[in-house]
Amino acid sequence: MVRSLTASTLYDELQERLDLQWIVGSGKGKNRSVSDHDLTARPSLAGYLNLIHPNKVQVLGEEELNHLNSLDATQRVETLTATLENDLLAVVIGDDLEAPEDLVKLSSAADVPVLVSDLPSWELVNLLQYYISKSLARSTSLHGVFMEVFTIGVLITGDSGCGKSELALELLNRGHRLIADDAPEFTQITPEIIDGTCPEALQDCLEVRGLGVLNVRRMFGDAAIKLNKYLRLIINLEVPKAGRVEMSDRLHGNTSEVPVLDLSIPSITLPVLAGRNLAIIVEAAVRDFMLKMKGYDAAHAFVERHSRILHRTSGKWES
């Protein structure tokens, strides 16, 4: 599905944050859009005036307007006309400057939105690039419960009825935080980072079989809810067939990697058995994952220790 962003949506979302004022642009101008296909194009999404590789949002600051003022009348009109001929989303003027009359006139004729802001132009460029990139970034929805456990974003997955919500409820009782239940949304905000959020319709809610929908914020307080978190670890709950657990590697556990938006996310599969305290096991799994992030691997250290012991023992036998 193609993701797009219109000029009117950009204005509505950033009007307060960027102190924007809509000067020119009505009708079709408000519906000018940029799509996720533009993320792969050579021009950047937002930047300073550029006629060779035009930006989708052309930002004009004090230096750009001074450059326009240095041109003679013919060159100025040609430059402004060339700027507005491209498939722009909008022109944004920063540094608390007024929109030049000829720019307003030409933009009105071309139906290109012109916005002005009191913020410095460099700040506008940074914020616009971040907002547009995030709005058009690749995203997906996964089935599971997304939580913050010891500051780590953990997605709890598994078949329906395996106890995901009950585990989430126990983790909430132990002081951890809920981000989203059932259908968290994940967006790739950088080449190596996936950010997870909760759909508006599911905000603050957790469904537990037999109890129905619970409002976590009302039950546990505001501190029990986290708006977003980077996805770092997936914990998959698996109900063993015939009640038997098959462990291929008892030293390293049942670990693997799961592709999410073409990124490989570490995954741990935990068997669901009667009498196991999964909340404690999940906490232990997250703590061990944090140690691995710092460079310590318990299994590797265990193997090295035994290698040293065997080496010393074999030395005694040889002597």
Instruction: Show the domains of the chain with their CATH numbers.
Output: 4-136 (3.40.1390.20), 139-303 (3.40.50.300)
Across the range 104-129, mean pLDDT stands at 87
Quick one: pLDDT at residue 246? 66
Quick one: pLDDT at residue 14? 86
Cα 76-104-136 angle, rounded to 5 deg: 100
Quick one: pLDDT at residue 36? 59
In order of 31, 114, 279, the CA distances from 111 in angstroms are 10, 9, 58
In DSSP notation, the chain reads: ---EEEHHHHHHHHHHHHTEEEEE--GGGGG-EEEGGGGGSSS-SEEE--SSS--SEEEE-HHHHHHHHHS-HHHHHHHHHHHHHS--SEEEE-TT-PPPHHHHHHHHHHT--EEEESS-HHHHHHHHHHHHHHHHS-EEE-SEEEEEETTEEEEEEESTTSSHHHHHHHHHHTT-EEEEEE--EEEEEETTEEEEE--GGGTTEEEETTTEEEEHHHHH-GGGB-SEEEEEEEEEEE--GGG----S-TTT-SEEEEEETTEEEEEEEEE--TT--HHHHHHHHHHHHHHHHTT--HHHHHHHHHHHHHHHHHHHHH-
Model confidence at 230, pLDDT cuts 50, 70, 90, reads very high
Quick one: pLDDT at residue 317? 53
Residue from 184, 188, 186, 89 nearest 137 by CA? 188
Quick one: pLDDT at residue 166? 92
Query: What is the reported pTM?
Result: 0.71
Whether 172 contacts 224, CB under 8 Å? yes
Cα 230-235-239 angle, rounded to 5 deg: 155
Model confidence at 283, pLDDT cuts 50, 70, 90, reads very high
Across the range 79-101, mean pLDDT stands at 85
Quick one: pLDDT at residue 144? 92
Question: What is the set of active-site residues?
Answer: 143, 164, 182, 250
Does 1 score more than 80 pLDDT? no
Model confidence at 38, pLDDT cuts 50, 70, 90, reads low
In order of 10, 134, 140, 149, 186, the CA distances from 39 in angstroms are 16, 11, 17, 33, 18
Quick one: pLDDT at residue 5? 78
Residue from 286, 262, 122, 128 nearest 190 by CA? 262
Does 235 score more than 90 pLDDT? yes
Mean pLDDT rounded to a whole number for the chain: 84
Quick one: pLDDT at residue 290? 93
Most confident among 1-15, 98-112, 132-146, 148-162 (mean pLDDT): 148-162
Quick one: pLDDT at residue 40? 54
Model confidence at 89, pLDDT cuts 50, 70, 90, reads confident
Quick one: pLDDT at residue 30? 67
Model confidence at 169, pLDDT cuts 50, 70, 90, reads very high
Does 76 score more than 60 pLDDT? yes
Quick one: pLDDT at residue 85? 78
Quick one: pLDDT at residue 195? 92
Model confidence at 163, pLDDT cuts 50, 70, 90, reads confident
